[in-house]
Amino acid sequence: SQQGEEDPQALSIQEGENATMNCSYKTSINNLQWYRQNSGRGLVHLILIRSNEREKHSGRLRVTLDTSKKSSSLLITASRAADTASYFCATERTGANSKLTFGKGITLSVRP
């Protein structure tokens, strides 16, 4: 079963605009991670936020985590056509030997 659920399922924006993607999950977690996947390729790690962190930045990426609401958001600022891809949130549940579980993903299209 998939732990995370992303919202919206698809997002289309103009180059230069900001893109906000949301993820909700169900159980207590050690961390939440965001990954990107270009068509037909493997996934690439973008950013990891620990359960005791509330916000993290990496370049044009900003991720927030609200453990009370079991939700996270990923903000991509000043989007580029090259950001067009699928984005997935993944959670690692609390406990030892916990597996990383992915959501269904968000398809982001950035129009030039």
Partner 1 sequence: DTGVSQDPRHKITKRGQNVTFRCDPISEHNRLYWYRQTLGQGPEFLTYFQNEAQLEKSRLLSDRFSAERPKGSFSTLEIQRTEQGDSAMYLCASFRAGMDTEAFFGQGTRLTVV
Please tell me the distance from the alpha carbon of residue 48 to that of residue 46, in angstroms, as a whole number. Answer: 7
Scan for tokens 């939700």, then name that residue: 71
Nearest to 12 by CA among 100, 110, 84, 96: 110
- Give residues 49-108 in contact with partner 1 (rule: CB under 8 A): 50, 88, 90, 92, 97, 99-105
Nearer to partner 1, 72 or 92 (CB): 92
Alpha helix segments (H runs only) across the chain:
none
Q: How many residues does the chain have?
A: 112
Q: Which is nearer to partner 1, 79 or 103 (CB)?
A: 103
Is 33 a binding residue for partner 1 by CB under 8 A? The answer is: yes
User: Residue numbers of the site for partner 1 (CB under 8 A)?
Assistant: 2, 4, 30-31, 33, 35, 40-45, 48, 50, 88, 90, 92, 97, 99-105
